[in-house]
Amino acid sequence: MELLDMKYKKFVDIEVAAQILGVSTKTARRYVDKYGLRSNGYKMINEGDLNDLKDNLRVCKDNDLGKLVKNLFILEKEGLTIDELVSACRYMGKERMGRALNAIKFYADYYRTPFFDRFGLNPENLFLPSEVLARLKIRDFHIIRNLAEEDSIALEVVNTRGRTWNYIYKESFFKYLDFKGIKGRIIFTSREISRLTGIPVNRIDKIALSKEIGVKLRGTHKNSIYLFTIEDLRSIREHDRKA
């Protein structure tokens, strides 16, 4: 009995798995196949996999961390390595960044795929609107629609059962980022720069407008949203000191 316990000490039965995940046993069984959890011949599930799944689901569903995961996911697609992501995003906080980085593979392999599978679309060629919004650090989908109307990006539109689903073609979005000079670059909003530098948001936007710093996205009500690279941040700080 002791040898059996030692052999399976890292595995738990489906009832315990359900308790760890906080779901029913029926849902836990579905998760075993859906998320590729390791199990043995006795249908016992690896406890480490369960704990990782629990944390990854929590991260992906969290409003703030979920956006960070999507942002990092696209940056990785743009060619940044994990080391480059860690270095560029060190300002975000070690624990927060670590949890997001750990969730990227789970997000890419499992979490996002059902949104494409339902329509037989290739997830390698398309981005979800929420991913593009996270990458550009905006909330308003109308900005994406405006970019599509301007032919800056291309959309795949699926209409079914009275609902419309929008997807953004990866290559068209990459071309847009490249045109704006921010492909493969970590970007900041005015609020983020304000938190990092202590410079008021309205002061940052005023400097950006007068010195033509950063990328400006125009919203639906003629309001402007600025995006900045790390070099822009340094430039804004320098102009603020000289003022």
Per-domain residue ranges for the chain?
Answer: 2-58, 62-180, 188-242
Considering the entire predicted model, what is its pTM? Answer: 0.85
Burial class of residue 79 (count of CB atoms within 10 Å of its CB; 0-12, 13-18, 19+): exposed
pLDDT at 72: 93
For residue 225, give every residue at least 6 positions away whose Cβ sits within 8 Å of its Cβ, in sequence order, or none.
Answer: 138, 143, 189, 190, 216, 217, 218, 219
Residue from 155, 158, 139 nearest 223 by CA = 139
Mean pLDDT computed over 194-214:
92
* Tokens read off for 149: 């109307």
Residue 84: predicted pLDDT: 82
CATH no., domain 2-58: 1.10.1660
pLDDT score for 122: 95
216: Cβ contacts below 8 Å, ≥ 6 apart: 208, 224, 225, 226, 227
Percent of the residues in the chain that have a pLDDT greater than 90, as a whole number: 53
Residue type, 242: K
164 versus 28: the higher-pLDDT residue is 164
So what's the pLDDT on residue 42? Answer: 57
pLDDT confidence of 224, banded at 50, 70, 90? low
Give the model's pLDDT for residue 5: 43
In the predicted structure, residue 7 carries a pLDDT above the cut 70: no
pLDDT (mean) for 29-33 = 81
CB 236 within 8 A of CB 207: yes
- pLDDT (mean) for 181-194: 92
Question: 95-125 pLDDT, tens per residue?
Answer: 788 889 889 999 998 899 989 999 999 999 9
For residue 225, give the 3-state DSSP assignment.
strand
Q: What is the DSSP letter of 4?
A: H
pLDDT at 178: 96
pLDDT at 239 over 60: yes
Q: What is the pLDDT of residues 47-85, one digit of tens each?
A: 888 888 899 999 999 999 999 999 999 999 999 888 888
Token pair, residue 237, equals 């700080």
Q: Which residues contact 123 (CB under 8 A, 6 or more apart)?
A: 112, 113, 115, 116
Q: Over 90: is that where the pLDDT of 88 sits?
A: no
Structure tokens at 185: 């670059």
- Whether pLDDT at 201 is above 90: yes
